[in-house]
Structure 1
Amino acid sequence: MAKGKEGIANIRRQSVKEYLRKHYFLYLLLTPSLLLTLIFKYGPMYGAVIAFKDFSPIKGIAGSEWVGFKHFAKFLSSPNFEVIFMNTLKLSLYGLILSFPVPILLALMLNQVRKAGIKKNIQLFLYAPNFISVVVIVGMLFIFLSPTGPVNQFISWFTGEPMMFMSRPEYFRWIYILSDIWTGAGWSSIIYVAALANVDPELHDAANLDGANLMQRIRHIDLPTIRPIMAIVFILAAGGIMSIGFEKAYLMQTAMNLPTSEIIPTYVYKIGLQAGDYAYSSAVGLFNAVINVVLLVTVNFIVKKMNEGEGLY
């Protein structure tokens, strides 16, 4: 019996060696990507240990005193914790709810455009904002929404006075989310457009013969086609729900809108790079990353249960 198992193991080893011998060039092509991932993604993870130490640049990571969960407790008990955490959660959650359906709707509408020339022009118009710098986008927002900007000039015709969009805390989230939808929805729809392009036209022809209208064809043909992609995109978006873009939020901040614009990434930047408290800022960043991982696993589990076993992994 033991000899039989050894023989099977030898056959498997030989088959693996034969496979590697035939396809070694593909693995050579993969090597640079693996090295870059190890160096720039996994390598810096060692630095996360300073979240558990009283880090001193002079002593280094290894020489700094171990303090355990001191910095995490400090953040959780700080008076700013609830405000910063809820600002981050609300901005991410509202952004996910409002922005997730938009690329799907755009892809479904683009799929109904039959003339290739018109479709390409529409796609160019929708994709273009994605390539505008975040700094330029925020600059445009300040210009358009300033008290003397075109938006307030239009509003002043009806109200007689401008609205202070960029300095009122209650407007920050809406401006952030709507501008995100404008810049990213078109680009995000590409993956759905590509999936819908693979739908067999004969399915639509057969549905037309059976008397199905447009909405019925979308519901029973198009949506089932892109449902697995929707599930994966939603899981990834929910898993990164606490990872809001730092640059845009920081650039949009003013002294007046801080009650809603101060989020974990901007707080980490100010504490870590501006105040020089690297250990505490690392603890806050690690806390944020752990929440993202928990959300990713939880949402993937729920989606797999609801989507007949189809999930991210």
Structure 2
Amino acid sequence: MKRNKTVGYLTKNYEWYLFLIPGLVFLFLFDIMPMANITIAFKNIKGVVNLSTSPWVGLDHFYRMFADEAFFRVVRNTLIISLYKMIFILPLPLMLAILLNEVRIMAVKKVVQTFIYIPHFFTWVVVYSVFYIVFGSGGAVNTIITSLGGDPVLFFLKGSWFRFLLVISDAWHSVGWGTIMYLAAISAINSEVYEAAIVDGANKFKQMLHITLPCLLPTFVLMVSINLGHIMTSGFGQVLVFYNSTVYSVGDIISTYVYRTGLGQANFSYATAVGLFNSVIGFILVILSNWLAKVTTGKSVW
């Protein structure tokens, strides 16, 4: 009977499962099949050779990785950039969603939402172009600085400013889109709760402090947990477009290091070892973040 119910359910809802096919094919081709090449990290690959005929070297590449000062530098950069983004960017969608929720003129609200959503659809090349116009050596910011008698600031070439650029560009690119989750959570709050608060004499600020924020806290914790699971990535596409050789010491992250070492220097085995290490740490963080979300909010990704 149980089997017949399952078959009946699948027969009745087969259209929904057909939509899964493109995603499953993509997952198989680009996530599952490449796992067969993990053995590259344990072999000595030089140039374009047959993987099956390459000699095994065991854990030699991992020993070299942990003895390499550059590896620890990129790990440090990855963690610092990710933590900066979590600290300064994660709260912004929450605050922006609360402010948007208080806009009562729907036309104004829709216009504002449109403008803050648009950057999400820009590629990092476009984002880089916009920020170079603003922060480049001849950009708007330096024009103002020089007009006030100051010296131009090389934002893209100075390590002390590069991480600042990464954070604010990522904020401009993602904060507006991140408000969608919180606006949906706000819309799910029972309006009778606000009505009861108004009867009790609560103003807008007290309603936000004692109703909206507590109701959004589980969603915020879940978003923090999800970002914690991706802390080892730091945004490969963004850093690859923004950085240059002068800021490698503060901007080079694990993903770009693997890209430069593997494709740039044709050191495939060592780059695969670094990438495998990063994937294992990322997997552990995803498990821990999911557990943290489940413990604190009762909700989890799976």
TM-score normalised by length of structure 2: 0.91
Deviates more, 1:17-26 or 1:227-236: 17-26
Deviates more, 1:174-183 or 1:217-226: 217-226
Residue ranges of structure 1 left out of the alignment (5+ in a row): 1-10
Aligned match of 2:277: 287
Could you tell me which of 203, 217, 227 is aligned with 2:217?
A: 227
Letter in 2 for 1:235: S
Aligned match of 1:256: 246
Could you tell me which of 17, 28, 31 is aligned with 1:38?
A: 28
Deviation by residue 1:151-173 (Cα, 9 ceiling, x = unmatched):
11222344532222211111111
CA distance in 2, matches of 1:30, 1:259: 43
Do 1:155 and 1:162's aligned partners in 2 also have CA atoms closer than 8 Å? yes
Could you tell me which of 154, 162, 175 is aligned with 2:165?
A: 175
Quote how far apart the aligned CAs of 1:58 are.
5.0
Q: Alignment identity in percent?
A: 35
Aligned match of 2:69: 79
Quote how far apart the aligned CAs of 1:141 are.
2.4
> Within the alignment, does 1:301 sit opposite 2:291 as a pair?
yes
| Secondary structure at the counterpart of residue 210 of structure 2 | helix
Aligned match of 1:310: 299
Deviates more, 1:13-22 or 1:86-95: 13-22
Aligned match of 2:50: 60
Alpha-carbon distance change, 206 to 137 in structure 1, aligned in 2, over 3 angstroms: same
CA distance in 2, matches of 1:253, 1:69: 31
Letter in 2 for 1:229: T
Report how many residues are paired.
302
| Structure with bigger gyration radius | 1
Aligned match of 1:104: 94
Letter in 1 for 2:158: R
Alpha-carbon distance change, 38 to 254 in structure 1, aligned in 2, over 3 angstroms: closer
Aligned match of 2:237: 247
Residue ranges of structure 2 left out of the alignment (5+ in a row): none
RMSD (Å), alpha carbons: 2.1
CA distance in 1, matches of 2:6, 2:232: 42
CA distance in 2, matches of 1:265, 1:135: 18
- Stretches (4+) displaced over 4 A: 56-59
Alpha-carbon distance change, 219 to 69 in structure 1, aligned in 2, over 3 angstroms: farther
CA distance in 2, matches of 1:33, 1:84: 32
TM-score normalised by length of structure 1: 0.88
CA distance in 1, matches of 2:219, 2:39: 36
| Secondary structure at the counterpart of residue 258 of structure 1 | helix
